[in-house]
Structure 1
């Protein structure tokens, strides 16, 4: 059987290992939280851009549906408007895909953060248990 001093040294070494893992996990969580926050802000910006583009489309669509508008200017507008609609739908589709990619990345980072939180809990439980063992060893050694 190991001496009390050897047991204490082993337990303190295990605590150091847990603390190193804990610090690493806490740092990873902070990094993930920062990334998630930036992505959420980017997502809000994308939504604002989508709304603004949609407002422009509605405005132009209203002009396109003017029943009393005729002639060469109307034909030119219809041609330009048709090109705009094509570009608009393509751009909206790309923005939707970008939005979805942001959502997927936020979820991936949140899941990673949850894994790190599990490691943090595991380390804290380990440190707590070792602290209990050290307390019992010091109690035995000190004769308290």
Structure 2
């Protein structure tokens, strides 16, 4: 009888430990799921920002081409001649065109950085997904152990 009583105490102690472990794993799983959901929202916002920046870049490139075309032989140079014409052509060819080029290059850099962050977050979510599955497996094993101890 004393042996049976010691066995019962051991089972009750292990049952309490298993329940505590299960609770701890459930909390960790919930935290990882929450982090994954936060990352998904960030990814969606970043994708939207990337699309907007790519539209801006496309528009800037169109303006850049228009300016280049406007200063070609068929554009501004045929409309008037003189010092003002030379100044305008010089400004457009020199400063404005290079500003558009710098602007589109910088947009490329920002889009690349956004793509890098999207990839980082997606990779983190893949790892979180693995962690969630692993923790779910541990919880499942503990649920089985708890059932066994309760029988």
Same fold? TM cut 0.5: yes
Question: Which of 4, 10, 25 is the aligned partner of 2:11?
Answer: 4
1:78 aligns with 2:85: no
Count residues with an aligned counterpart. 139
| 1:42 positional shift | 0.4
Q: How does the TM-score come out when normalised to structure 2?
A: 0.84
| 1:66 positional shift | 3.3
Q: How does the TM-score come out when normalised to structure 1?
A: 0.88
Listed one character per residue, the Cα deviations across residues 32-88 of structure 1 (whole Å, up to 9, x for unaligned) are: 111111111100000000011111112222211234615225422321212111111
Point out which structure has higher relative CO (alpha carbons under 8 A, 6+ apart).
Answer: 1
| 1:137 positional shift | 2.1
Of the structure 1 ranges 72-81 and 10-19, higher mean CA displacement relative to structure 2 is found in: 72-81
- Could you tell me which runs of 5 or more consecutive residues in structure 1 were left unpaired when the two chains were aligned: none
User: For 1:52-71, what aligned pairs fall within 5 Å after superposition?
Assistant: 52-67=59-74, 69=78, 71=81
Q: Which of structures 1 and 2 has the bigger CA Rg?
A: 2
| 1:125 positional shift | 0.5
